[in-house]
Structure 1
């Protein structure tokens, strides 16, 4: 199946520090002296997860105005979100490692003199990481006054029901709305850093073999795009340098930037690009947030779960399956393998001619 992923309503770009100051009608009432204790949010995942969580984080800003938003996340992605004004502080974390050992980074500012996630009793903990029980227990161990999370019988928490078929962005927005934080996929938008260029960015890598389109097909695509006269850049991590150099060897006009960009540099490149082509990975979510036209090759995870959540006219998703596959498999997923060079080039041409 080929076509745009989801529909959204176009609206102005917004950053964290530019959000409306008013809280949702169901948010905590202001009785004259606003509570300034922290909101601790767990989302210790990768780049795509970080971007997909921006809308929910903005909803938390609205639910708890005046409170410091502390994000437990990897240092690099968390620091990028902090620098954008989406959160106030980063608690460096990875996966499901304990949070209490970093307790000194979470200040209890309710005036009782206590400090640390395990010492104070008034901070709010929010689980944007998963449905538990491990992630629920990690946050419960910080001794919060309140836990906002999906329901989990094993962790003894009563919350909204998890919906496996729900889009990732909608899922976390729904959770935050249940706590009084108004938000929607429109809150994914980030301000572009400048004028858009004519550059085409290719990102051939992915975390698992199941999500890596064959390199020889990327080479053919790179060669065809180079013939259009547009600058073509290939991005990837330092560990993907060999893959990216192989793709870049398709034509003299194609250059590899693998390992040469930090996260802000990668975000800037994608934000200014005329077109991004990639698999279902983190850079695709950057394109969604910045409104960069994209062609995204899906498999094994369906775009109804992780595809572009706004601006369907800007994003073409290519998906050839009816059910999800194993995203952690070592070999390419059949749905992704079914995507052809011709349809990728056709989709790219259609986006470039807009």
Structure 2
């Protein structure tokens, strides 16, 4: 019996973090539409599989990760070469060559002569959509919302405070987060603290200083389904420039995001009253440094508390609506 032909496949490389994945959703959706008859395979860290599948733009995942933002090996790709390979990882030869080594029938990458120039001043969502449009693939950077999670929120209507970040340069001091937590609790708001893997000590310290009970601490890195439901059902998300801020945007949940050293012009939320980006301009810094960036440290506690309370005053539930539903309606 003749085996069934292998379905055509598109391999997309974006083996980065949660925020990078969510910023790439408009480009992934454009690829899904342009190659409707293909199987879309996304190469990214295996811990992001559930998040990737939740976008509706990806059929399956090729586990691929490397330290930092390095390019992972794709040598474990199986079967025939990809019909199309698309580099959404970066603009260097390393990611281009990792895909080219699989001998795809068609390769799209910034590091090829027929691609548009890399513009470092472009927002991440805009950059990749412009890249695809230059190759004849319509893409809309506003197409970034995720479907409503099926799971219920573990803390409906809570203010979610996330003090962690992947690098120290993007981590606002824990004692300042604690001061904001105290302010929010004093104003009568239900606060929940979250942290990623390896951030338990930070979250516990913020909780203790902020007078937060253990019942309001969700440390240890929630599974994506629970984290997504938590953010979707929140009245507000307060965080630094990290994946949770992008998740709030993806669910239309109000947010206050503290930026530094990277400008919100490059990685921030779309314009609109639902998302406040706090940022102090200054000389460029290292987004992967170990110590808090000078621009980030210039954001004061009172400023953050005031921004959160302003956002929460805009959330006025009507009959039969939760605070989170009211927030998305404005």
Q: TM-score, normalised by structure 2?
A: 0.86
Equivalent residue number for residue 240 of structure 1: 199
| CA offset digits 1:316-350 (Å, max 9, x no partner) | 01101144311122211110000001110111011
1:164 counterpart = 2:120: yes
Moved more, 75-84 or 282-291: 75-84
Cα deviation, residue 78, structure 1: 2.9
| CA offset digits 1:284-321 (Å, max 9, x no partner) | 00011110100000000000000003x52100011011
Q: Which whole-Å CA distance do the structure 1 matches of 2:212 and 2:243 have between them?
A: 27
* Conserved? CA contact 2:41–2:58, under 8 Å: yes
2:33 corresponds to which of 52, 59, 62 = 62
SS in 2 for 1:181: coil
Equivalent residue number for residue 103 of structure 1: 77
Equivalent residue number for residue 186 of structure 2: 227
2:102 corresponds to which of 142, 155, 171 = 142
Q: Which whole-Å CA distance do the structure 1 matches of 2:9 and 2:281 have between them?
A: 44
* Conserved? CA contact 1:299–1:324, under 8 Å: no
Equivalent residue number for residue 39 of structure 1: 10
1:191 corresponds to which of 144, 147, 155 = 147
Name the structure, 1 or 2, with higher relative contact order (CA <8 Å, separation 6+). Answer: 1
Gaps of 5+ in 1: 1-34, 105-114
1:175 counterpart = 2:131: yes
2:176 corresponds to which of 217, 234, 241 = 217
Cα deviation, residue 97, structure 1: 2.0
1:297 counterpart = 2:258: yes
Gaps of 5+ in 2: 1-5, 315-330
- CA RMSD in angstroms, aligned pairs only: 1.8
User: Residue 223 and residue 79 in structure 1: after superposition, are their counterparts in 2 closer, same or farther (change >3 A)?
Assistant: same
Q: What is the number of residues matched between the two proteins?
A: 300
Equivalent residue number for residue 52 of structure 1: 23
* Conserved? CA contact 1:149–1:160, under 8 Å: no
* Conserved? CA contact 2:169–2:286, under 8 Å: yes
Structure 1 residues 1-354: aligned runs within 5 Å: 36-95=7-66, 96-100=71-75, 102-104=76-78, 115-116=79-80, 120=81, 123-152=83-112, 157-193=113-149, 197-249=156-208, 250-253=210-213, 255-259=216-220, 261-309=222-270, 312-354=272-314
Q: Which whole-Å CA distance do the structure 2 matches of 1:89 and 1:252 have between them?
A: 40
Moved more, 268-277 or 243-252: 243-252
Equivalent residue number for residue 321 of structure 2: none
